[in-house]
Structures are given as C-alpha cells and as structure tokens.
Amino acid sequence: MRPSGRTNGQIRPINITRNFTSHAEGSILVEFGETKVICTASVEVGVPRFMKGQGQGWITAEYGMLPRSTHTRNNREAARGKQGGRTMEIQRLIARSLRAAVDLKALGENTITVDCDVIQADGGTRTASITGACVALVDALTHMRSKGLIKTNPLKHLISAISVGVYKGEAIADLEYVEDSEAETDMNVVMTETGKLIEVQGTAEGEPFSFEEMAEMLELAKHAIREITDIQKAALA
Amino acid sequence: MRPSGRTNGQIRPINITRNFTSHAEGSILVEFGETKVICTASVEVGVPRFMKGQGQGWITAEYGMLPRSTHTRNNREAARGKQGGRTMEIQRLIARSLRAAVDLKALGENTITVDCDVIQADGGTRTASITGACVALVDALTHMRSKGLIKTNPLKHLISAISVGVYKGEAIADLEYVEDSEAETDMNVVMTETGKLIEVQGTAEGEPFSFEEMAEMLELAKHAIREITDIQKAALA
Amino acid sequence: MRPSGRTNGQIRPINITRNFTSHAEGSILVEFGETKVICTASVEVGVPRFMKGQGQGWITAEYGMLPRSTHTRNNREAARGKQGGRTMEIQRLIARSLRAAVDLKALGENTITVDCDVIQADGGTRTASITGACVALVDALTHMRSKGLIKTNPLKHLISAISVGVYKGEAIADLEYVEDSEAETDMNVVMTETGKLIEVQGTAEGEPFSFEEMAEMLELAKHAIREITDIQKAALA
Amino acid sequence: MRPSGRTNGQIRPINITRNFTSHAEGSILVEFGETKVICTASVEVGVPRFMKGQGQGWITAEYGMLPRSTHTRNNREAARGKQGGRTMEIQRLIARSLRAAVDLKALGENTITVDCDVIQADGGTRTASITGACVALVDALTHMRSKGLIKTNPLKHLISAISVGVYKGEAIADLEYVEDSEAETDMNVVMTETGKLIEVQGTAEGEPFSFEEMAEMLELAKHAIREITDIQKAALA
Amino acid sequence: MRPSGRTNGQIRPINITRNFTSHAEGSILVEFGETKVICTASVEVGVPRFMKGQGQGWITAEYGMLPRSTHTRNNREAARGKQGGRTMEIQRLIARSLRAAVDLKALGENTITVDCDVIQADGGTRTASITGACVALVDALTHMRSKGLIKTNPLKHLISAISVGVYKGEAIADLEYVEDSEAETDMNVVMTETGKLIEVQGTAEGEPFSFEEMAEMLELAKHAIREITDIQKAALA
Amino acid sequence: MRPSGRTNGQIRPINITRNFTSHAEGSILVEFGETKVICTASVEVGVPRFMKGQGQGWITAEYGMLPRSTHTRNNREAARGKQGGRTMEIQRLIARSLRAAVDLKALGENTITVDCDVIQADGGTRTASITGACVALVDALTHMRSKGLIKTNPLKHLISAISVGVYKGEAIADLEYVEDSEAETDMNVVMTETGKLIEVQGTAEGEPFSFEEMAEMLELAKHAIREITDIQKAALA
C-alpha cells in the first residue's frame, strides 16, 4: 500500500554520522531515508538572564531549512526578516524535548544550544531533528565532562522521535513526503528510551480521528522508538 | 486535592455571551472560570492569494493577550514588533481546529478571520479560545446565509477544546493557572461534538508520562468535551 | 441636527466600571456611549534606564485596538510587526496627559504603565482612554500606598478628556463615529478637574477653522470636562 | 527676558532658499534662525492603492533628522529599523497640513511626496518644515503645470506654521531650543495665509495652562504667521 | 612559513561534489580544504517585477552560514530578524559575479536563485561559494536546456574566485582562517576562465599595501584561478 | 569623449566646507562636482561593548541618502524598516577606511561615529563621503585634544578616495552619474596621502576587464588621490 513498499510499521533506514562538522561540541548528520538534517550542539558557559542565579543550566534549540531543501525553493527566513510560525513551533518542540532528557541542575549554569538545519527534506524533519539532536547533545555533554565543566552526566535518558499517521485509512509509521501530503492524520511522538512519552502532537489533516486510530498510532510509535533508540545507542557506542 | 476543591474530572463554570461587541459578524465573550476571552469572527468576500481560483473558502485565526491579562504585565507584541513563538503556535492551533469544523467548499471563496483576545488569563486560554471561536464562527455563518453569501450551512460539526493534565500524580481536567504551573503533564485536546479527535498536544513539563496516564487524560477530555458541547448548544439555542 | 438627537454640547452616557479585570493594580472599563475601552494600570518597582538615579517615577502608556473593534477589521499590529503612526500618536498623548496629573517626585522610583485597549469603537477612543486611564491610575496609586510603596498621594488633580468639533457648521461635543467621519474640524481637549488645559489638538479635516470656532469648541469642552470629572469622582467614591 | 534678547512676539530671521538641490521638482532650504531643514517635493504620476479611481490626488510627507543635527547624536532611524513615535507624529502633521492647502481634485491622480530633513536643529523643526514644505509644494505645482500634468493651480492658499509657548510665565513666539527645553507650555499652530487655523497642538510640559494663556499664544501665532506668509511670498516672487 | 606548510601560491585541495542534494536543479558541495559550502541553483520561470518585459533573465544569490559553522556560534540571522552587513555584501558579490558569467538575454525571462550555505568555515567562504555556485549554475542551465526552457547555452565563460593576501609580509593565496585572521591585507579576486577580472576587493586590515604587493597578489590569483578552472572543468566533465 | 569635456584623468572641482553645521565635533560639506555630502564626526567617551577593556578606541560610520538626492525618489530606509545592502556595503567601506587612518590605541577608549548623508547625488557618493569624512575626523580629533580627551594626535595619515572606471573602452577618473551608469567597469580606490592602498573595489559591470585596464585605472587613481590630498590639506590649513 505504501509508495515505498514499506510495511505499515516499518521505518526508513536511519543513519547517524557523528563529528560531521568540526567546530561544534556535538555535530551530527542524521538521515531518515532521504531526509537529512545537520544537528550541532554548542556549549556556552553561563545562562540566559531569566535563568541566572538558579544554579541550573539551560538547553535551547533553533531549527531552519536551507531554502532549497524542499521540492520548490522557500524564501530564506533571514531575508524575510522573521522566522515563520512553523519554524517557531518546531524549534520550541525540539527544545522542550531535549530539556526533558537532561537534569538541568546537574548541567550547572551552562547553556547548550542545538541547531537543527535541514539540508534535504522528505517528511519527518522534526522527528529526525530531535533524534539527531539528542546524539549531538550526548556528545556535547561528554565534551563538557572531559573539560571539567560538569562532574556528573546530566543525561537522564536518551530521547527520540517518530512521525506516525493515518494514511489511506491505516496507521503507518515514519511518513515520507508523498505520504505526509496525503495523510488524514499526522502525529509526532517523542519518547524516552524507557518507553515513556515526552510529547504527543496529533493533527487531523482531513477527517477527525478516533480513539482507536490514536491507540494504533501510539502503538506503532512505541515500536519505532525502540528501534531508533537502538540506532542511537549503536552510533554512540 | 485541587486548590479549587473541584473533582479531578470537573470543569470550571463556562459562560458564553453572544453579541458581546457590536461590529463583528460573530462576537463572543467566553469564560472558563476566571479565564475570559473575546472571540470575534470577521467575514470578508474573497480569499488570500494562495487560495485563489480553487472554489473554496479559508478560515484563519489570530490570538493575543492584553498586556495585563496576566499576573505580571507582558510586553505588548505590537510594541516589540513581533508575535512570539507561543502566540504563533496557539493561533495556528485555533485556525487548524476551526478549519476542521467547516466544509471549505461550501464556504465559497470567502474568508473568515477569527480573533481571540484574552482579557483575563487563569489557565486554559487556548482551549477557551477554541470553544468560543467555534460559537463566533457559527454566528458568522448564520450571518452569511442571511446575507445570501452562502446557500447551505458549511458547518460539519461543532468543535470544542479542553486542557487536561497530570497534577500531583493524578489526571485532572480544565487546569487553572495554579494547577497548570505545577502540573507534570499538560495536554490540550480538541474534539468534535461527535467525540472524535481533531488535535492532541501533550507535553511532559516535568517527568515523562506513561501510556496509562495518556489514556486517563483522554478519557477525562472526552467527558469534558461532552459537557462543553452542551454548553455551546445551549448558547446557540 | 445630530444623528443621535443630542444637543450640541451634550455628551453621551459615560460609565466607568472599576476592577473590571482581576490582575492589574487598576483596571477600568470605560464607556462613552458605544465606545468601550479597557484601561489597566500596572505598577513596577524601578524606572526605565534613562530615568535612573533622578529620584522620581515614570508613567507610560500603550494603546491598541482589537482588530474587530471597528466596522471593518483592521490588521493586528502585532502581526504586521509594527505600531502605526496613529497608535503611536495616541499613546504618546495618553502618557503625556497622565504624567501631567502626577507629581513624579512623589511617585518615587516606580513605573506605572497604563494600557488602553479598545474593544469597541464608536468615536472618541482616545478621550475615553484618557478618562478611564486616570481612574485606573488613581486605583493603582491607592494600591501603592496600601503596599507602602509610596507615602503620600502623588496625584495633583484628576484629568479627563473630550472630543469637540465642527459638524455641519456648528460646534458640538463628544463626536460619535458618524459625526466624526463627516466633521469639518476635530479637536481633542485634555483638562484638569480645576478647568485648566493639558493638551489641545485641533485639526481641520475639511476647511480651515476660525478663531471663533476654536473658542466655541473650547467652551463646549470646558463644560463637558466638568461633567466627566463628576462621573470620575462618583466612580471613585 | 529671552536668551536671544528677542521680544515676546518676535520671530527669528527666516530664510527660504529655492532650488537648493537639483533633482526634486521643488527643493527648499528653510532656516528659522539656527534651525535648518531641506524640504523637497517629488511628483509622481498615479496615487497609492487606497486612493485609486477617486479622480483625485494625494500628498504625503516624511520627516527625518540627520543623526547629528542635534546637540548629542541620535541613533539613525534607518539603522534602528523603525521610525520613532515623534517622527511619525511630525510627518503626519506635515502631511495633513499640506493636504489642507491643496484642492486634491484639481491635483488629478498624481502624488506629491514632501521630504523634510533637518540638517541642524535649534527648536521649531516641525514649524520650519511645514513653512518650507509649502514653498517646495508650490514649486512642484508650478513644475506640474509647465509639464501639462495639471491644467489649473490646485493651491487653495499658502500655509505656514509657528511654535508659541509659555516661558517664564509669559507667552512667546518661535521658541529656540534653550527656550523650548524650559517652556511650561509648547504649542504649534498651522494657519492659512488668510488667518484661519489648520492645526493647533498645545501641550503642557510642566503646569497646565489657562484659557487666557491659550488666547495669548494664539494671538502671537496670528501675528507671526502674517510675517511668515510675507516671507514665503517674497521667496516665491 | 604558512601554518599548513603550503607554499605561498599553493591552494588547498578543492573538491566539488555534484548532485549533493536531490531537489535543486543544480546542487554542489564545494570544499576548499576545511571550508565546506552547499551551493544550490533553483530555476523559476519569470523574472522579478523590476525586470519584467525586457526579454532577459535574472540571476540572484543568497548567502548564509549555519550558526555553528564557525569556531564560536554565531546568532542565527533568521532569529535576529535581519541579515548582517557582511552577509549582504557577500551575497551581492556572488550575484554580480554569476551575472557576469551569463548572457542574460539568452536566459530568457527566467530567474536562477543560487543559495550558498556554509556548513563549515575555515577562511575563503565567499570564494568557495562563487566557485561552487558557478558549477551549480552550469548544472541548472543544462537542466533548463533539457526541459526546453532555453534553446542555447547562455554561459559566456566559467568564473571562479580565490582569496589572496599579505601575510607576514609576503603575498599568499587561498588563506585559511588562521592566516586570514592575522593577514595585513586580504583580497578576493573573481576571474573568468579566460583570465580576465570580474571583481577585485582588496582591504588593508592592518597597514596599507603598496602597488607592488597588489601586483604580486593579482599574479598569485591568476595562477590559482587557472588551477581552479581546471577543477571545475573536471567536475563538469 | 566625456560628456563634461573632462580629460580621462581629470577630476571634478572639489570643495570642502568645514563647520558646515554647528553641533558636531567635525562637520563638513564635501562637493565632488554636483555630488554633495554632509559628513559629521561625533565623539563619545567610551567604546561599544565588544571593544571594552582593550584600551583602544573605535571608529564607525553610517551612510544615508536623502530620498530625493537622486533623479527619482528612493524610499526612505527608516520608513522601509531596514538599510539596504548597498547602504550597508558603503558604510562598512567608509568605516574600515577611516579606521585605517587612525592609531586606535592613541584614541583611547573613545568612539567616533561619522555620518555621511548625501544631499545631492551625481556619481561618486562613496568616494566623496570618505574624502569628506576624513576631514571631519581630523576636526573631531583636534576637538578631542583641545578638550584633553587625548594627549597625542592619533592620525596616522590622511586618507581619501576616488572612483575610476572603464568608459567607452578607456580608463577615466571620477565618474559622474551619466558615465557611471554606462561604464563597463567601476572601481573605487581608497589611498593614504603617502600613496599606499587601503581599499580597492573593482567590478565589471558589463564585460570582464584585463590586468592592463586594472593597471591603468590604478594609475589614474594614484594621480587623483594626490590632488585630492592637496585639497584636503588646503581645507585644513
């Protein structure tokens, strides 16, 4: 049924390349099939003003797409003079997800900024971003320990993300662009490596969806996250 | 357990005042307890450029908070020169939800803009906004029929929204501010009057949440939506 | 002669509702006929940078209109990314007027920000704003004294405002929208409760006006201000 | 009493240099004492979109100060990314005043944009701007007639402007900076050559002012405008 | 003398990878040593408004750096709300250079937008961008011919670019970051494959430079451009 | 051959008027033929944040054109809300050039901001700006010494600038607008009074240029700079 011939729960091949660029404390190229995102984690001593004096750290994220990462060219947000609503929504999601992976107290008064820049888009850029960003974050934390910036590992658990949806009446996992653009429902799920939920964002694109469809999608997500967690662990090994 | 003495599934008193202001085709004051939002629906003949020539209509939404609708004053977005990420996220949610309530073909090449302006905030401003916006939308559609702009009623079903969450380890419905600021999980659910899902946005604020907690929250949402739908219907009667 | 049947000097019914919303130190709904404005006064300890170390306080104001407070919907200034010239002009006028009501020395190094948000417009929004803002300011000063932020009452005198104009060749007071849009001259007058002038802004919309017309308009303004002052005092009693 | 030794009603030497720069259809350097403003009028065929099809023209104005036209350098508005409230207020005043001088029907569907750029400021920049802008406008209208863009002269009357105020308890005319910064009241008056009023903007800077002081200031303005009108006529002769 | 051990005229290894991403009509990864830039060329039918009806095409360029392409993280321009002066300067340089390579008449009323996004920076990002952009442009032109958008090849000549400078008193070619940050003079040279000049931009960073140094730098540039042209040709073969 | 009848190397009459306006520490009107620019130098104690604590000063520059300094009116950058790429490029060039004229250590922790505002444009506005700005800078440095802000003269050498180009196949100096708009090559050269180069920016507008043409243009620039330096010295005498 799926254009790619994948089974409903089957995810695309996922590749995680560490140290993709040289300057960042964590630098990952993450590929979910044809979707490719560069995730870098940058460490800075100190925290933003609204966090000062609380004895804990901060993690923030920014998301962007190269103008021609998509089928037709999008205007460059820097040239338009502002980030669009979709960009804002995604980078807020990435940042919240990453903060849920880390004990901010143990991070000390340090800030990690994760940049997720999509160089090629084929559906699932936000879930690929979160999955890659987590690995970049782990590398940055390792760097911080080696530099003595932190004493213990603030990571509470790996996190990763997957898109699920209802397509031609059936629940499927890891939608690529041709599926995503025709799906009746689209849902992004962020989970911990231990199988708990961090974010669930489901949207009826066409018809409303039922509680049963919701449950099926969550079930597919749970299985996908297990696989993705293993891929993250293998990359980090 | 709840500061207000409410039971876990109990929602706050909800009031819907129609024709709250005089110029808009639909104008509602919606109150979820101490949360108060003015929702107006404005009808315009024609559609935005990207929709032209498709023979269907468009529904969009904008959201704002009066600077002192909150405990401490927020900077006015018009003065800062841009809408923040939270605002963008909420108005995109409202607009998607409203579009799911309407047959855009039957709307013809007309645009309805719904403005949700919070005059007093005590938690749940986005769910109150969606609930009130739907009633304003219905009034605007009635106005359009009376003016001969549309022949049939494009409304597919009423929609409404409720916030649910995990607070002190238990699932509760319709969080007010003091609960919201300490909740472990916060979830907004938009549903049709027929009990189907349009949007689910759940976020772990502190600890990740389990599939069981997710199910409990959805169950509370389902019951609350039934009550809210009845209140909408009574207001429209 | 007037569409409403009012006499030339007759003002519309004015209502002032205190404690209209719950969070602000002063919160007023002011109604000049069908014109309705929410005025909130917010107290903050400290002053803006350019005022620091001078041992005196600061009062500032912001003005906005809900997009559908008017006959046809106006674009939201926050979405357009800047406040228009009319908004700037009005909020500067409100702020200057309020500062003229208060002994800034006696205010100490505190800032009061007054927000005037028009929820329904029918002419005279800026004069209604100033009239309501002054009552909100008085409530905020009372709050400050009760909290011990100030020792004495910094209020020098109540202030209020009225629009006057030349309409069909005659001077009239308190123009509503249908009059305002056809008036030859439009003038806003801000005065103290003791009958002195704070601001006079007169504009020939069509033909230039004579010194005699100017004098007639000022005379109407003087009488109107006396009435409005009494309404403010009654509201504060 | 006045720092310059001028009598209360005495204005500064006013110079109007026509054809100050070469490209504009009207180009004036206007000097009110040490205040120097370049006023250019630019003619364009056609009108802005909101004016189209009404068979009449449009006049608009923009105002700016060179960053070091003042005692201390002001930030360049182009670099800050927006025009401040004071600039907006002044350019709206200039444009309204100029439109009151012209029969827009007779102007046809043409637009005149007047730019007033202050190169040296010593008080009264807005009144000097209006006075010079009117002469630039007349030159532009003459140019339009010579090019056949208009058949008749759309000028209804010359307009000019003067600042008056209350300084050390007395009404004075044409305040220079040292007076302006200490004046109790500041008022700008725009009048026609026939002695009628177009704009009156009076502000109590310190204490409120009385109806008597208002009358005295208007009287000084009337005399000053007569002198300024003569200077405009001499320049245009 | 050079940190890398290169001779004064020796350029870094240059790699050009075609079809680096899948959506653009031309997509290149260009590497000058550790400097890595993605250059995409996007074809659009039609031209910007100011070019309409002239029967010729347009080529424009945009430049960006991923926030962590550099040693320390730069703020994202999209988040800051504007492109900086350096970005503007570089993208104007790239666009002018590319337009000099193409017969715009032969391009017809089509637009090519070239995006140069730096993913890793180690000096010479603008010269690498121009070199890679030219190859992306050639691929886009080939695509256009295959689609029948153009009949003849509008390319007049390949162009490429190299940075030269004065470092420790000697002229060197292709400066990497550690050289660039200490160079006395920095010059970017854009040339045709036939050895003619398109752009020369030389800047004294410390001391002024002599006509002799200028001549030496140009000589190094000429030789480097020959090598780079060969690499472009090999990539395109 | 030249429209003005000038010989190829002949520059236009150059006038430098000192103390053109009264408030700035240095204020120059510079005229290159019909091109007229006001250059003011403003002194401020202290340096921008990124320079603090380094024991040296800073020089920055801003450039603007009055809207009607050109043949047709340009939109005001302050009204558009941003400075264009050309403006950014020019003001960066002016600032770099001026910094190359001064020993920043000897300047102490002081900032000089030079504003170059074009009131009439006829080609060569950036070279006239640099030439005038240097004289304004010298006056500001003299002012600083007289006020005791600096002990020694931080000026290393006068700088000035000239535009050269290839027009109808021949190298010419100091292009006016009609030449500039048809030139095949346009080059701006900034030099010291001692004949060394600070900036060279050459651009092929039409056809690429040869090394021989480059040499000819530089030779013309060298001679022009000698003349301009003499004019600067005469003005400063």
ipTM above 0.90, yes or no: yes
Gap between the Cα atoms of D118 and E86, Å rounded: 30
Contact B200 A196 (CB under 8 A): no
Does pLDDT of E156 surpass 90? yes
Gap between the Cα atoms of A151 and A145, Å rounded: 6
Gap between the Cα atoms of F237 and F234, Å rounded: 5
Weakly modelled stretches of chain C, pLDDT under 50: none
Asked if E144 and E43 touch (Cβ cutoff 8 Å), the reply is yes
Does pLDDT of B206 surpass 90? no
B:C CB pairs within 8 Å: 99
Gap between the Cα atoms of D114 and F76, Å rounded: 12
Tokens representing F211 are 């090394």
Gap between the Cα atoms of B49 and F227, Å rounded: 58
| Chain position carrying tokens 């504060």 | C236
Q: Looking at residue C206, which CATH number applies to its domain?
A: 3.30.230.70
> Which pLDDT score, from 0 to 100, does residue C206 have?
81
Does pLDDT of A191 surpass 90? yes
> Which pLDDT score, from 0 to 100, does residue D206 have?
82
Helix (H) or strand (E) holding C81: none
3-state secondary structure of B189: strand
Gap between the Cα atoms of A135 and A159, Å rounded: 9
Gap between the Cα atoms of F130 and F101, Å rounded: 11
Question: Nearest 5°: phi and psi at E220?
Answer: -60, -40
> Which pLDDT score, from 0 to 100, does residue E206 have?
81
Contact A70 E42 (CB under 8 A): no
Residue A1 lies in a domain: no
Contact F208 E196 (CB under 8 A): yes
> Which pLDDT score, from 0 to 100, does residue C73 have?
97
Residue E5 lies in a domain: no
pTM for the structure as a whole: 0.95
Gap between the Cα atoms of B9 and B174, Å rounded: 8
Taking only the tens place, the pLDDT of each residue in A5-41 is: 999 999 999 999 999 999 999 999 999 999 999 999 9
Tokens representing C154 are 């910094």
Position E27 confidence tier, pLDDT thresholds 50, 70, 90: very high
Q: What one-character DSSP code corresponds to residue B99?
A: H
E113 contact residues in A (CB cutoff 8 A): 67, 73
3-state secondary structure of B133: helix
3-state secondary structure of B6: coil
Contact C208 D100 (CB under 8 A): yes
Mutate one of A37, A63, A66, A91 to test the E interface: name it (highest E CB count within 10 A). A66
Q: Of C42, C66, C73, which has the smallest distance from its Cβ to B73's Cβ?
A: C42
Taking only the tens place, the pLDDT of each residue in D49-84 is: 999 999 999 999 999 999 999 999 999 999 999 999
Burial class of residue A75, CB neighbours in 10 A (0-12, 13-18, 19+): exposed
Asked if A208 and B197 touch (Cβ cutoff 8 Å), the reply is yes
Asked if B205 and A99 touch (Cβ cutoff 8 Å), the reply is no
Taking only the tens place, the pLDDT of each residue in B104-128 is: 999 999 999 999 999 999 999 999 9
Dihedral angle at the C-alpha atoms of B220, B223, B229, B234, nearest 10 degrees? -120
The average pLDDT across D113-117 equals: 98
Gap between the Cα atoms of B234 and F107, Å rounded: 77
Taking only the tens place, the pLDDT of each residue in A103-145 is: 999 999 999 999 999 999 999 999 999 999 999 999 999 999 9
Does pLDDT of E234 surpass 90? yes
The average pLDDT across A211-219 equals: 97
How far from the centroid of its chain's Cα atoms is residue F123's Cα? 13
Does pLDDT of A206 surpass 90? no
Query: Crossing angle for the helix pair E125-146 and E211-236, nearest 10 degrees?
Result: 40
The percent of residues in chain B predicted with pLDDT above 90, rounded, is: 98
Look at chain B and report how many structural domains it folds into.
Answer: 1
Gap between the Cα atoms of C64 and D63, Å rounded: 24
> Which pLDDT score, from 0 to 100, does residue E208 have?
97
Residue B6 lies in a domain: no
Taking only the tens place, the pLDDT of each residue in D123-142 is: 999 999 999 999 999 999 99
Asked if D66 and D30 touch (Cβ cutoff 8 Å), the reply is no
The average pLDDT across D157-164 equals: 98
> Which pLDDT score, from 0 to 100, does residue B6 have?
98
Measured in angstroms, the CA of B26 and the nearest CA of chain A are apart by 25
- Give C165's strand partners: C172, C186
Does pLDDT of E110 surpass 90? yes
> Which pLDDT score, from 0 to 100, does residue C114 have?
98
The average pLDDT across D158-165 equals: 98
Residue C121 lies in a domain: yes
Residue E77 lies in a domain: yes
| Residue D174: CB atoms within 10 Å | 30
Residue C4 lies in a domain: no
A79 touches chain E (CB under 8 A): yes
Question: Nearest 5°: phi and psi at C91?
Answer: -70, -30
Residue F9 lies in a domain: no
Q: Average model confidence (pLDDT) for chain D? A: 97
Contact D82 C85 (CB under 8 A): no
Question: What residue spans of chain B are helical by DSSP H?
Answer: 77-80, 85-99, 104-107, 125-146, 177-180, 211-236
Measured in angstroms, the CA of A114 and the nearest CA of chain E are apart by 9
Residue F181 lies in a domain: yes
Q: Of C192, C208, C211, which has the smallest distance from its Cβ to D198's Cβ?
A: C208
What is the edge-to-edge ordering of all strands in the sheet holding F26-32? F14-18, F26-32, F35-45, F110-120, F58-65
| Residue A28: CB atoms within 10 Å | 29
The average pLDDT across E65-83 equals: 96
The interface residues of chain C toward chain B in range 169-228, judged by CB-CB distance below 8 A, are: none
Contact A200 B191 (CB under 8 A): no
Containing structural domain, residue B205: 14-236
3-state secondary structure of E39: strand
Signed CA dihedral, E223, E228, E231, E233: sign only? negative
B222 contact residues in A (CB cutoff 8 A): 211
3-state secondary structure of B33: coil
The average pLDDT across E151-156 equals: 96
> Which pLDDT score, from 0 to 100, does residue A7 have?
98
| Chain position carrying tokens 């010079």 | D132
E:F CB pairs within 8 Å: 87
Contact B78 C66 (CB under 8 A): no
Q: What is the DSSP string of chain F?
A: --TT---TTPPPPEEEEES-SSSSSEEEEEEETTEEEEEEEEEEES--GGGTTSS--EEEEEEEE-TTSSSSPPPPHHHHTS--HHHHHHHHHHHHHHHTTB-HHHH-SEEEEEEEEEEE-SS-HHHHHHHHHHHHHHHHHHHHHHTTS-SS--B---EEEEEEEEETTEEEES--HHHHTT-SEEEEEEEETTS-EEEEEEEESSS-B-HHHHHHHHHHHHHHHHHHHHHHHHHH-
Burial class of residue D45, CB neighbours in 10 A (0-12, 13-18, 19+): exposed
Weakly modelled stretches of chain F, pLDDT under 50: none
The average pLDDT across D89-107 equals: 97
Give the chains touching B; criterion: ≥3 Cβ pairs < 8 Å.
A, C
Dihedral angle at the C-alpha atoms of B211, B214, B220, B222, nearest 10 degrees? -100
